[in-house]
Structure 1
Amino acid sequence: MGSKEISRLNIEGLVAHRLKSRRLETAKDVLCKTELDLVELLDLPADVVAKAVAAISQNVAPTRRTVLEMYMDQQQPGDIQGGHLHTDLPKLPTNLPSLDDALRGGVPLGSITELVGPAGVGKTQLCLMLSIFATLPTDIGGLDGKCVYIDTENKFSAKRLIEIATMRLPDSFPDEQAVQHLTSRVLVLRPNSAIDLLTRLQKLEEAMIREKAKLIVLDSVAALVRSEYGHDQLQQRQDLLGRQAALLKYLAETFRIPVVVTNQVMAQMGAPSQQPNYGFVEHERKKLRPSPGYEDSTYDSSTVTAALGTKWAHAVNTRLVLERHAGQRYIRIAKSPMAPSLAFPYAIAAGGLYLSSSEVHDASAGGGTSILNEGSVTHSKPDDRFLMDVG
């Protein structure tokens, strides 16, 4: 990756000294120049420069790998038993049991997972939960690492993070010392522009190594670009998003960590209504005026879709849609390489998101009418005293 610093590329001696003195600090700085330019700039023989360029190129170029090598890297110790390869790869659990079952363990490592939904539906709450879970020891389902939380909307709340941790996991956070340990492991970045975000992502690799981070949260990917780029700058916006997506994918794959991003929704005027019927909406769907805080209802022949367009959508490996219908919140698997399209009812409490029933709804083809596996999944319901409405 071009953002790698020369100091990490095993370039030593006079070449390393000359590169540093000429402020050529990253692989990109070197590889964007011709060898002739480098000979003149570094005042070194052509063969020495050529050898250094080759070494740098080899360090940053992707290596060829077989599927077996990739698969073996993804296995946890003990995953190969009796000569058989197990298909359940390590994940970051959401602690929403039915959802984790459908995703075969939780949020996948080494890829981008997107949370999509209107304001107030609980996307940031789920991000805070995942940040906490990533810091937990591996023997209780965590990743035992730090979390880099990139907050582009100034929505991150340390108070809410602590509340979720202590209410949901009182045994893991029984005292002030445990809470302080948690808060010291969540690193918050607040970029002030889309270019600033890109620059921070380019420099994030070093921080990931230094801090031993095991999760990246970007909340939200849409906020800065949508506020800074108008309709007459769509090409520039898409180019920037493409670069951001490439960096996030690189970090996810290189460190084999989950990258979780939130995305906003946008109205598509004149499009046919796509309001799902998760087994309870009448076939003759009524036009509903949007309720406060929820733009996903159907009105005036408009429907909502994830923001940022098709190019960004292709960069996402897993998409979870958080939405509300008939007063009930649902989290829906809209895109996954391993899970069917299912929807799960949930509520928000002091301890974060909880599944509000054991129902698993078929959400394929815009929302099916059958309910799958009803009553087959058990989980703890939230205490009604702590139920809250953030919508």
Structure 2
Amino acid sequence: MTRWRRCRADMRSVCVVLRMGDPELTLSMSMTRVEQQGPRLINCLEQAGINATDVNKLKDAGMHTVDAVAMATKKQLIAIKGISEVKAEKMLKAAREMVNVGFTTAAEVLQSRKDLITLTTGSTALDELLKGGFETGSITELFGEFRTGKTQLCHQLCVTCQLPVDRGGGEGKALYIDTEGTFRPQRLVAIAERYGLDGESVLDNVAFARAYNSEHQMQLLIQASAMMAESRATALFRTDYSGRGELASRQQELAKFLRALTRMADEFGVAVVITNQMTANPDSGMFAKDPLQPIGGNIMAHASCTRLRLKKARGENRVMKVIDSPILPEAEAMYAITEQGITDEVN
């Protein structure tokens, strides 16, 4: 059985961890590797005097680690049925004593960042652009018009995340949430052949879910435990909340979803990749520099650590441009979409 691992270099990083039945079972598969440096299982709260019944209530609400409780607010805990204000305060106190949520030194932050790994895109040019590939421990947003390679990159990551670390992978698994019905497992088999991987084994290491509405998408996210290749994150929110009159409600739900993604990336140190669509800017004039804008507005922009725009080029070639990043300079690189996945540009 392929082991589930946290996305840290010293743990051979997971690509994605998903909930398969009992979430406690999923996380405990790598407990011997995680207990020293990875997130603590939520059952540890019982050692601090939190009764098992209340711990199970936290699990039902999607909190499976002590880190998740430590990062929560009292208001969020009280919103869970059966958790009073007194219990919430006790839980927060216990969790924050176990997990360091206070100040640390810049030197310690630098050292922890050195432990993060990157996942190869399949293209040498893109890996150079991204300084190794998609970064773990943060959210990367891919946005662009149709046929620019967003879905193909997600398929690519489902395979490359299973590669050894020295080949640009994470020796892990992938979780793929699809909101538009574009997931094609046969693409994974073709990409796997390129890397000399067994197609059947690769498929077994990818957990797939089809989300049918924004509420269902949120529930699927609650089941997840580590890295995600998230397809079309905003599509269902745009469908469920049509019209500018409902913009506030749509953005509120989107913000809630993105906060959950951010916590997941931070809690487990995993790579979260979101694809986003482009839409016409209703407020732009006829002489606007770019009449198209990514869906989600400022909420999506602020939630993403790295924003990458994909554009069409000649033939099967495409362009990736760094729009926003705390570490990458604004630059672009060419790549191609081929039968074997994402590669360097073709002539």
Q: TM-score range by the shorter chain?
A: 0.7 to 0.9
Gapped runs of 5+ residues in structure 1? 40-45, 77-88, 209-214, 276-302, 357-380, 383-391
The aligned counterpart of 2:336 is 347
3-state SS, counterpart of residue 113 of structure 1: strand
Structure 2 SS opposite 1:149:
strand
Instruction: Provide the C-alpha distance between the structure 2 equivalents of 1:200 and 1:129, rounded to a whole number of angstroms.
Output: 22
Tell me what 1:216 maps to.
228
Find the aligned partners of 1:91 and 1:13 in 2 and give their Cα distance: 36
Aligned to 1:254: 267
1:222 and 1:10 mapped to 2: Cα distance? 35
Shift of 1:104: 1.4
Displacement of 1:274: 3.2
Task: Name 2:168's counterpart in structure 1.
Answer: 141
- How far did residue 58 of structure 1 move? 4.5
Q: Identify the residue that residue 305 of structure 2 maps to in structure 1.
A: 317
The change in CA–CA distance for 1:125 and 1:61 in structure 2 (over 3 A counts) is same
Corresponding position of 1:270? 285
Q: Find the residue that maps to 1:242 and give its secondary structure.
A: helix
In structure 2, relative to structure 1, the CA distance for the partners of 1:347 and 1:50 (3 Å cut) is closer
Q: Which amino acid aligns with 1:69?
A: E
3-state SS in 2 of match to 1:332: strand
The equivalent residue for 1:62 is 101
Deviations 1:262-321 (A, max 9, x none): 00001125253436xxxxxxxxxxxxxxxxxxxxxxxxxxx2111111121111111111
Contact kept in structure 2, 1:344 and 1:355, CA below 8 Å:
no
**2:250 corresponds to which of 200, 225, 237:** 237
Q: Deviations over 1:346-365 (max 9, x none)?
A: 32210112222xxxxxxxxx
Secondary structure in 2 matching 1:65 = coil
CA distance in 1, matches of 2:44, 2:76: 12
Q: Match of 2:296?
A: 308
How far apart, in 2, do the equivalents of 1:336 and 1:24 lie?
Answer: 34
The two structures have a TM-score, normalised by structure 2, of 0.74
| CA distance, structure 2, for counterparts of residue 56 and residue 339 of structure 1 | 35
Taking the aligned partners of 1:152 and 1:138, their CA distance within structure 2 comes to 30
CA-CA distance at 1:344 after TM superposition: 2.2
Query: Contact between 1:30 and 1:53, CA under 8 Å: does it hold in 2?
Result: no
Name the residue aligned to 1:81. Answer: none
Give % identity.
Answer: 29
Equivalent pairs, count? 293
Confirm whether residue 185 of structure 1 aligns to residue 205 of structure 2.
yes
1:331 aligns with 2:288: no
1:128-207 pair list within 5 angstroms: 128-166=155-193, 168-169=194-195, 172-173=196-197, 178-205=198-225
Aligned-partner SS, 1:135 = coil
CA contact (8 A) 1:164 1:352 kept: yes
Q: Aligned equivalents of 2:292 and 2:221: distance in 1?
A: 29
The residue number in structure 2 matching 1:31 is 77
Higher relative CO (Cα under 8 Å, sequence separation at least 6) belongs to: 2
Greater Rg over alpha carbons, structure: 1
Q: TM-score, normalised by structure 1?
A: 0.66
Contact 1:31–1:57, Cα closer than 8 Å, also in 2: no
